[in-house]
Every structure is written in C-alpha cells, then in structure tokens.
Chains A and B, each alone.
Chain A
Amino acid sequence: MVTHIQSDFADALLDPGQPLPRGLTSHTAAIPARRFAVYRNNVVTSLVQALRTRFPAVDRLVGAEFFAGMARVFVSEHPPRSPLLMTYGDDFPDFIEGFAPAAELPYLADVARLEAARTRAYHAADEIPVDLARLQSLSPAALPGLRVTLHPSANIVRSTHPIVTIWAMNSGEVALAPIADWHAEDALVLRPEMDVEVRKLPPGGAAFIGALARDAPLAAAAEAGIAENSEFDLAANLAGLIGSGLVTAIHLAEPDQEHTP
C-alpha cells in the first residue's frame, strides 16, 4: 500500500502534468498543490543546479535562462539513477547533441564532453606520475617496445571544433575573443596532482595516446599518430606525454627490466 503512495508521489515529482498524488493532506487546504510544488521545485531546481555546477562553460555559452530550460528537459527525461550526483550528467553532452534548440551551437556538445571529463578527472583515483628523468635514463633501443600505464584521471575529448579554445574563453582561463582560425582541437583532460588540467593535443596526439591507452608499444602508437596526421612529431609528443604527468608507469619489453615507480 505504501509503495503505491510513494509511486504516485514519485511519478508526480518530475511531471507537472501528473495529478497531485492521492492521500495528501494539510491543515489548511484540501488540495495542497502549492505544498506539493515545494517538493517538485526542490527536485528539479537542485538537479538543474547540479548540472550548472558541472557544466559552467556550457552555462556561459548559452546563458542562464537557456541553460535552465535545456537542463529542465534533461532532468525530466534523464533523472539521476544513482545517489552519487558527481556522476549526474555523464549523458548530458549526448542529450545536448540532440537538443534541437541548441543546434545553432554545433560545438556545444563537445564543450560539454570536455566539462564532463573534467569532473571525472577531479574524482579519479590518485596516482603519482613518472618523472621525465626516468624516460631520459632509458637506452634508445628500449623505446620502441616500451609500454606505459596512463594516469586514471586521463580523458581525451576529440572534436571537429576548437573546443579547448572555446572552453578556455568561457571558463575564465583566457579572454573572450573572436576565433579567426576555426579548426579541430583534441583535448587532454588530466589531474596529475590536485588540479584538473586541460591541454590542447598536438597533431596526431589523440591517436598516439589512444593507442598507448590500449596498451600498444611506443612504436605502434607512433605509427598510429603518423597515420592520423603526417605532421605527428614523436619527440614532442613523448616529451608532452611525460611532462604533462600522463604516465604513471613505464614497462620495458624485457620482463626482467620491468619497472614501475
């Protein structure tokens, strides 16, 4: 019986079209619509706020009013499935991609993907990155067969739009300015220590890191980078790989030289 009461209550929370749940009373009014509206408002407002907190650059790009409208539709169609609100909105970028009123901003979904990745990196497991000196100490002959473990906070977000530049301009990192050279940008989102960092990957970098993430040895990963973009620069990518704190362990091909820091 109580299950029915809560089912009625729950159904009416996210759908203002639903009638008031049965069995509600108050000492002042037979139909406590405004009272029930407090719960509806708490649920929707708090979830919209959770999305606004997670997607501040999207909020800034579309404006507070548009964001609230878009988020309300998302909340009613995709309410949280977990009490861990830090994961709420993982599928908001996909929703934005299909949200017709936002179609004028074709880059919006990818900026949202970058912001979603930032939250994942924020809460990811802590690991200590490998020092650049460790790589420099290796014999050049060991490099082609070398495999690496990437930091658990690492996320790559690829886009056909300049999402790193757009994100930086809408998160207070750099000043807003017209983007004259509109080109594709891939983002590396990483939290080597306590601060989440967003970096623009060099040409072929996303394919290179993607291959390493799939446990490819360095030579094969470099080939993947070159295959994607002939401007791929292995030395620069390698320095960036270690310098950014992306690698937490280096594994040499020979089992007896296996090394983890």
Chain B
Amino acid sequence: MRLSSTLPARTGVGFKPAHFREIVAAAQPLGFFEIHAENYMGAGGPPHAQLTALRERHALSVHGVGLSIGSPRPLDREHLRRLKILCDRYQPESFSEHLAWSSHGEVFYNDLLPLPYTDETLRSVADHIDEVQNALGREMLLENPSTYVQFSDSTIPEVMFLTEVAQRSGCGLLLDVNNVFVSAKNHGASATDYLAAFPLDRVKEIHLGGHDEQTDDAGAPLLIDAHGSPVADPVWALYAGVIARTGPLPTLIEWDNDVPGWPTLLNEAIAAQAILDLAARPAAA
C-alpha cells in the first residue's frame, strides 16, 4: 500500500523558523507548509517542537535535499531510514526530492548537482525512486533541476527523461517553474517549449522562487537559482500558463536566503493564490 501525494491545491510557503511565532499567532490563508527534511533529523529540541505545532495546524510537505537520487552509486540506506522515521512521525501529505546528486563517495556537497541524461542514468534514477517509494511506503515527487552546464554524454532531453522516470517508477513530478525558466535561459532553450512537452498530468506540486542573474564565459546571461528574491515576472507568466492548462495545483513559494519578513513572504503566496483562484472559476459563457 503506497500513500499518494495529497497536498491541497492551494498555495504554501517554505517554513523558516524566524517566522514561527507569526505563523502560529494567527490563522494563515495558506494550504500547506514545506520543510527541508534534513533540518528535522535531530533527536529533539525546538525544530521538532515547532514542526509539531505547525503540523497540528497545516498540511505538510517534506522536501528532501540530501538523498542524492541522481548518484550512480547506491542510495544512503541510513539516510533513507531517517527519512522514513520523519515521514512516519509527521505523516506529511507529500514527500519530494530532486533530480540531482549531492553526495559522492564519502562526501556530502550540500548542493544539487547535475547529471547526464542517458539510458544508464535513467535506469539508476528510476531504480532509486523505486527504492525510496518502497522504503517510505509513499509516492515520491521528483523535482526538475536548475542547471548551469550540460554534458556531452547526455542523449535524452530532460523532459523526456523525467517523463520516462515517472512512467517506470510510478512517481509524481514536482514542477519548479523557476527552474524551468533558469535552465532554459542558461541553455539557450525555450521555457515555453519545455512546458508544452512536460507531462503535466504527473505534476502534483509546483515550486516558485526567485533567481539572480550573472553572465557566463561568453558574456551571455547566466541565471542562478538563488531563492533569495521575489518570483520574477516571466516566471509568474509561465506559471499562469501552466495553471490555465492544469487547473489549480499545490503551489509553493520558496525563499531560503535573505529571508524576508513574514508579510512579504505571505504576499508572494497570496499572489500565487490569485492565479489559482482565477483558474478555479468556471469559464464565462
């Protein structure tokens, strides 16, 4: 028996401890909160006390950043066990991870690193997701990455890779629209084409976040997935286009660096909710 991802089709916010008091002091017009799993793997203390209080009030999404699904090596069983303990304890509505790797050998790099898309990596990613879903007894959502380089060994376009992984493993997908925009810009591709080909029927959550702009070796724009600023206008436009096709989907505002005050973050979520509300209205005759 595998639990499906069941977040409400409303907006949520990435939880930051700095906002805890304000969040629990009032009713929040939000569908859910998302946490980074690895921050809640200690034995006790304020992280668990806060998460318990949050969980009592809101739907919860557990988002892993350390499982290294895209590594060619076996998954860290000890880490998978910790994830299971966390999910069993808090019974989140959803669990998600990334199409990326973060550990190699003994070392954890604390970043979401890119992988080539080949038949070999497709098999290994699908097998890893299978293992995760069996271990947790839950459906996993796999998030599309933001990337800054590509690999000459890649033979499969990213959208096809994600589609195939989802088909083979039965996982859901987490569509990060900012990542789509960042990667498309970085690789001279079209975000609209990417989204036109994306298997939206598999998408059970959307991420929106801010990015920075730098330049690459040739002076071309290089966008950085920094999560330290408001969602950019072109990303809002892409998001509205997706929601117009799918109807309302659970949507998260991610703001992990230079975290603003709670009202600013809440306003971003309210802006996303307005787009969801528009899509929920029956079309005018």
Contact = CB atoms under 8 A, between A and B. Distances in A.
Given A25-B149, A29-B217, A6 B101 contact: yes
B188 A27 contact: yes
Given A81-B107, A122-B46, A26 B41 contact: no
Given A28-B188, A38-B148, A39-B111, A86 B39 contact: yes
Interface string A25-67: 1111101111110110011001100100000000000000000
B66 A26 contact: no
B43 interface: yes
Chain B CB within 10 A, most for which of A6, A25, A29, A31: A6
Given A3-B72, A84-B41, A26 B217 contact: yes
Contacts of A50: 110
Contacts of A143: none
B172 interface: no
Contact of A125 (B43, B67, B187, B224): B43
Given A79-B107, A83-B108, A123 B217 contact: no
Interface in B103-158: 103-111, 113, 115-116, 118, 120-121, 124, 148-153
A33 B216 CA distance: 8
A144 interface: no
A87 to B, nearest CB: 9
A6 B186 CA distance: 21
B39 to A, nearest CB: 7
B152 A2 contact: no
Interface stretch (A7-15, A96-104, A253-261): A7-15
Interface string A114-139: 00000001111110000000000000
B22 interface: no
A83 B188 contact: no
Given A25-B151, A85-B38, A123-B43, A34 B217 contact: yes
Contact of B103 (A1, A42, A83): A83
A43 B45 CA distance: 28
Given A23-B116, A81-B107, A36 B216 contact: no
A9 B102 CA distance: 11
B224 to A, nearest CB: 6
Interface residues of B, number: 56
Contact of B42 (A6, A31, A46, A124): A124
A7 B124 CA distance: 16
A119 B122 CA distance: 39
Interface string B89-108: 00000000000011111111
Contacts of A80: 107-110
A15 to B, nearest CB: 12
B39 A79 contact: no
Contact of B120 (A2, A9, A23, A38): A2
A82 interface: yes
Contacts of B45: 121-124, 126, 153, 191, 194
A238 B234 CA distance: 65
Contacts of B113: 6, 9-10, 13, 39
A126 B215 CA distance: 48
A153 B108 CA distance: 26
A38 B222 contact: yes
B43 A124 contact: yes
B71 interface: yes
Given A6-B72, A28-B217, A35 B148 contact: yes
A80 B76 CA distance: 14
A5 interface: yes
12 contacts: A6-B72, A10-B109, A13-B113, A23-B153, A27-B188, A32-B148, A39-B149, A46-B111, A81-B106, A84-B41, A84-B82, A125-B43
Interface of A: 1-3, 5-7, 9-10, 13-14, 23-29, 31-36, 38-39, 42-43, 46-47, 50, 79-86, 121-126, 152-153, 191, 194
Q: Which 9 A-B pairs have the closest CB atoms?
A: A83-B66, A123-B42, A126-B44, A28-B218, A29-B217, A27-B188, A10-B104, A125-B43, A80-B108
Interface of B: 38-39, 41-49, 65-68, 71-73, 76, 79, 82, 101-111, 113, 115-116, 118, 120-121, 124, 148-153, 186-188, 214-218, 220, 222, 224
